[in-house]
């Protein structure tokens, strides 16, 4: 049986947020830029605590990979 190699990300990040849409956008943009600059892969999860400021929609639209 052949082995399947799965590469783990270089970095895993969990962000917990609540009603910080623009701060979250800036954070995710900066994180993407740094990962690209380092030439590294990353996995990012955003855990939203019931925001009412549109944060979840912003993440889905602007950062679909998150």
The answer to whether residue 38 sits within a structural domain is: yes
- The share of the chain scoring above pLDDT 70, in percent, equals 95
Read off the pLDDT of each residue in 37-61 and give the average, rounded to a whole number.
96
Does residue 6 belong to any structural domain of this protein?
no
Which residues span the domain enclosing 43? 11-62
Give the predicted TM-score (pTM) of the model: 0.83
Cα separation, 44 vs 23, whole angstroms? 16
Going by their DSSP bridges, the two strands 11-17 and 42-48 should be labelled as: parallel
Domain count, the chain: 1
Token pair for 48: 């939203």
What mean pLDDT, rounded, does the chain reach? 93
């Amino acid at each position: 049986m052949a082995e399947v190699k799965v590469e783990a990300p270089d970095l895993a990040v969990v962000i917990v947020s609540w009603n910080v849409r623009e701060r979250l956008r800036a954070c995710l943009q900066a994180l993407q830029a740094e990962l690209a600059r380092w030439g590294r892969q990353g996995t990012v999860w955003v855990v939203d605590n019931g925001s009412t400021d549109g944060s979840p929609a912003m993440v889905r639209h602007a950062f679909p990979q998150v």
